[in-house]
Amino acid sequence: MKKRNAILLPRAQKPVSILGENIKLARLRRKFSAEQVAERANISRPTLLSIEKGNPNVSIGAYVKVLVVLGLEKDINKVAKDDDLGRRLQDASLIIRERAPKRTM
The pTM (predicted TM-score) of the whole model is 0.74
pLDDT of residue 93 exceeding 60, the answer is: yes
Q: By the 8 A CB rule, do 56 and 8 touch?
A: yes
- Residues with Cβ within 8 Å of residue 58, at least 6 apart in sequence: 47, 50, 51
Digit-coded pLDDT (tens) for 15-45: 999 999 999 999 999 999 999 999 999 999 9
